[in-house]
Structure 1
Amino acid sequence: MLAIRLKRMGSKHRPYYRIVVSENDKTPTSSCVEELGFYHPIATDKDTKINKERAAYWLEKGARPSKTVLGLFKKHDIKA
């Protein structure tokens, strides 16, 4: 089963995340099927970019978003 989740990047105490589609049973840092965008929680404006078309495509295919990604989708008006 596919999952849409966050992949941690960055350095110690300065994380940023990539929003990725990957297999549910693999670790988040392993290879992913596709990258959908990014999320910078440390930035003052909490910079986020999500490819809405591709996110909708993967949701139609049955990918399940994590709780955090689901919250990001709601902020960007992506129906999950």
Structure 2
Amino acid sequence: MLVLRLKRVGRKGQPSFRVIVTPKKAGGPAGKPKEYLGWFNPFTKEFQLKSERISYWLSQGAQPSETMHNLLIKAGLLDGKKIPLHGKEKHPEPVAEAKPEAKPEAVETKPEAEPAPAE
């Protein structure tokens, strides 16, 4: 399966990314890509994409990563909603189940002990 993803390039502290198409299990993002499809600069939020080639790879069954999905929506190449990336690690808070409170009528009272007959 092919995937559209970002490959990090640039110096330490100054990342920029190349948009690539690569097999999903191709040795991680450091593997040799099938094709370079553009670039993305996260500091200036600028990007350049080869829209015809991206459309071709999407028609061939390539799946975009979550970040690439959001970038393609911003570029107008995909329709739909953006995928929220920063809220995944939050665990939903457990809902405290309401315990039935004991009603005063339901509380059992111990019968008073009858005095033992004297022998």
Amino acid in the other structure paired with 2:32: S
RMSD: 1.0
Percent pairwise identity:
37
Q: Distance in 1 between matches of 2:78 and 2:69?
A: 9
Q: Distance in 2 between matches of 1:37 and 1:29?
A: 17
Task: Give the aligned partner of residue 24 of structure 1.
Answer: 24
Higher-helix-fraction structure: 1
Structure with greater contact order relative to length (CA < 8 Å, sep ≥ 6): 1
Q: Is the 8 A contact 1:4 1:63 kept in 2?
A: yes
Q: Distance in 2 between matches of 1:11 and 1:19?
A: 17
Q: Is the 8 A contact 1:8 1:17 kept in 2?
A: yes
Higher-strand-fraction structure: 1
Task: Give the aligned partner of residue 34 of structure 1.
Answer: 35
Give the greater-gyration-radius structure (CA).
2
Count, aligned residues: 78
SS at match of 2:33: coil
SS at match of 2:17: strand
Where do 5+ consecutive residues of structure 2 fail to align?
80-119
TM-score under structure 1 length normalisation: 0.93
Amino acid in the other structure paired with 1:47: E
SS at match of 1:31: coil
Where do 5+ consecutive residues of structure 1 fail to align?
none
Give a deviation string over 1:9-46, Cα, whole Å, max 9, x none: 00111000000000100211110000110000022xx1
Give a deviation string over 1:19-75, Cα, whole Å, max 9, x none: 0000100211110000110000022xx110011100000000000000000000000
